[in-house]
Amino acid sequence: MSIPDFQTLMLPLLKFANDQQEHASREAADSLSQLFHLSEVEREELLPSGRQGIFDNRVYWAKTHLKHAGLLENTRRGFFKISQSGKDVLRTNPQEISMKFLKRFPQYIQFISGNGKTEIQEAEAEISSTQTPEELLEEGYQRIRQDLAQELLNRIKSCSPSFFENLVVELLVTMGYGGSRQDAGKAVGKSGDEGIDGIIKEDRLGLDTIYIQAKRWDAGAVSRPEIQKFVGALHGQQANKGIFITTSNFSSGAYEYVAKIGSKVVLIDGQQLAQLMIDYNVGVSKVSTYEIKKIDSDYFIEI
């Protein structure tokens, strides 16, 4: 079963609280996950940021909307219970509770109209929305990131092979390999070995050496023979660690080959390369930063 959206969770959550007892938010999430027969994988599925579970986030927002409508009330930090209004609603045996349903409560209208949208925009958003604010924000972020990755890849493909090789070394140094940029830069193209474009230290102490192959290909997957040639070059240097980076992608045969050999060879395709460049701010610059904040409950505790 797929993870229910936060509006679908509103009625089950209110029914869960109808025993009039105080409940912890975690207790509610556990109970609802069993009600909807969520698998362990679904229960642990995270938002793209990896900082919060999707289901937990949706339970939180279901509770938030019910609370602002006056159907639930907080009792203490992390705990809540049903209100008299909530019990009155359940007595009417509603088939569902949604954002549209909650508009009958004045305090909820005040809550949703606080963002400056017009009534028409609010109505459309309430009826159609199945995603929490965090999900909408992260979905937009991922879309922007994917567009940026594709633009990066297009730019890289238009650059010269030598520029690409230097870009690869700069990225690896930024990731913590190779000691100084100057030392790593001297290694590019200096080995003279077929199938090897550069050499870089594994760490700042130079405890081991990693050999690099950087292929700026516009089309077609890098196949197994190319990887075999690279591994052969590694063996010629009595090395067992290598990174093969391409602007294209790798064939299934290439992945199968590196999974079976004794040497440690990492394959990085164009999409992975672009994502790493974004993560480590190589070839990109920061435009805007947004902070998501929440109430500090400890601040409001009176001693």
**Tens-digit pLDDT profile for residues 90-111:** 999 999 999 999 999 999 988 8
- Please tell me the total number of residues recorded for the chain in this structure: 303
pLDDT of res. 279: 94
The 3-state secondary structure of 59-100 reads HHHHHHHHHHCCCEEEEECCEEEECHHHHHHHHCCCCCCCHH
Helix (H) or strand (E) holding 200: strand 198-201
Positions of the chain with pLDDT under 50: 116-124, 126-128, 185-193
Class of domain 10-131: mainly alpha
Task: Tally Cβ neighbours within 10 Å of residue 7.
Answer: 24
Question: Residue ranges per domain, the chain?
Answer: 10-131, 152-279
CA–CA gap between residue 264 and residue 131 (Å, rounded) = 42
Which residues have a Cβ under 8 Å from the Cβ of 96 and sit 6 or more positions away?
Answer: 8, 10, 11
Q: In what order do the strands lie in the sheet with 241-246?
A: 198-201, 209-215, 241-246, 264-268
Whole-number pLDDT of residue 123: 44
How far is the C-alpha of 211 from the C-alpha of 280, rounded, in Å? 21
pTM of the model: 0.64
Question: What is the second-level CATH architecture of the domain 152-279?
Answer: 3-Layer(aba) Sandwich (3.40)
Q: Which of the 8 DSSP states describes residue 4?
A: P
The dihedral region occupied by 195, where left means phi > 0, alpha psi between -120 and 50, and beta the remainder, is: left
pLDDT digits (tens, 9 = 90+) for 24-62: 999 999 999 999 999 999 999 988 777 789 999 999 999
Backbone angles phi, psi at 211, to 5 degrees: -95, 145
